[in-house]
Amino acid sequence: MALRTIESLGELAGRRVILRCDLNVPLSDGQVTDDGRIRASLPTINALVHRGARVVVISHLGRPDGEPDSRYSLRPVAQRMSELLGAPVTFASDTVGSAAREAVDGLEDGQVAVLENLRFSPDETSKNADDRARFAGRLAELGDVVVSDGFGVVHRKQASVYELVQSLPSAAGSLIAAELDVLDRLTEKPERPYTVVLGGSKVSDKLGVIAHLLPRVDRLLVGGGMLFTFLKAQGHEIGASLLEEDQLETVRGYLAEAEQRGVEIVLPTDVVVAEAFAADAPHTVQAADALTAGPAGEAGIGLDIGPETAARFAELIASSKTVFWNGPMGVFEFPAFAAGTKTVAEALTRVDGLGVVGGGDSAAAVRALGFRDEQFGHVSTGGGASLEFLEGKKLPGLEVLGW
């Protein structure tokens, strides 16, 4: 079956369109600090507005444990969305209650409302299908059709992602369609050389991706905290650096499989080693195969790839035709340990082909380091959903859309 698109819904003027977005953005002091996911939702919102739909935006934000919590209110998101749209956006202070009904009933053609956080109801994320169906039924009363466009949640069987889409005529928005097009290019017939860059803290978070992509890629670059499990698997000392001892045999298996397949696994040759996990910790650059004590003499902690490695990674990335990057190269939140991540990001902007920032911490990192989304071929909003797709898993939120 083919993915159902908005065109399949027919005439939308005057109809109430429930639009499931992923507006799970960071907030500080009641302000949105990274509006990337809001911006990513605008093309679908604008398309619906231009068709005269009455747009009812729903989303989750954070993990409020199934009850109202002002720290996770979508009110600041609605305010930022209004600024970006250049038009008023109504905000409803509940999700399926009287405020939501009043907000929806007050919409005219081409207007937009945002309802309060879906996860203020425990039924949104309930493991019980009946609970989810009941909540989806109450949501469905607020609309005539559903457009699902929150790619970051399509790997979750949740009420607004799964049961709601089954309750009304439904289709995928342009964000989901764009994400799937990019992911299809990464898995089916990528242009070569094809390089995957993996970072982040844990190998265990990337096991499925490595297993699924090893037969498809030309080289795999490994950074972040996960690199130390690879180094340890090769017999090197890693000081007090992050280690997943239970994954050593798995990593050795990947190294052997890569060699058999002719896939180049590129590990760091130098590492930035700090005295402690702290922004101002004294640090030195050391050879990756000979990590010693930290500057003060105790076991050191690797917090970034070294400059020699960063330059090598940049060279390999910039010379590739297809690159997928997921996971920072170091503790980018600390300026002293952000250089590796910044170098990789800069190299990705120079890819003559498709360069993909794989959502989650990678997307947060490039924005925090001053890069703009449009500098890259694609910045995914997916995070976990992108990784599960690349693992070859079936995603329930896509299956109900015909994918």
Instruction: Specify binding-site residues for ATP.
Output: 206, 302, 333, 359-362
For the CA atoms of 374, 359, 18, 160, the dihedral, rounded to the nearest 10 degrees, stands at: 180
Element (H, E) at 81: helix 75-85
384 is an active site residue: yes
360 is an active site residue: yes
- List the catalytic residue out of 39, 51, 134, 202: 202
Binding positions for substrate: 22-24, 37, 60-63, 119, 156
Number of H helices, E strands in the chain: 14, 17
Token duo for residue 193: 């050389």
Q: What's the rounded Cα separation, in Å, for the pair 130 and 137?
A: 10
312 is an active site residue: no
Distances (CA, A) of 285 to 73, 158, 263, 278, 300: 44, 46, 28, 16, 11
Q: Which residues pair with 175 in a beta bridge?
A: none
Polymer length in residues for the chain: 403
Binding positions: 22-24, 37, 60-63, 119, 156, 206, 302, 333, 359-362
Look at the block and give the residue holding tokens 């928005």: 173
- Which residues, at least 6 apart from 213, have a Cβ–Cβ distance to it below 8 Å? 187, 196, 220, 324, 390
Binding positions for (2R)-3-phosphoglycerate: 37, 119, 156
Q: Which residues pair with 198 in a beta bridge?
A: 222, 326
Tally of CB atoms within 10 A around 356: 26
Q: Which residues pair with 302 in a beta bridge?
A: 273
- List the catalytic residue out of 225, 300, 360, 383: 360
φ, ψ for residue 150, nearest 5 deg: -95, 80
Amino acid letter for position 402: G
Look at the block and give the residue holding tokens 């503790």: 331
What residues act catalytically?
A: 37, 202, 360, 384
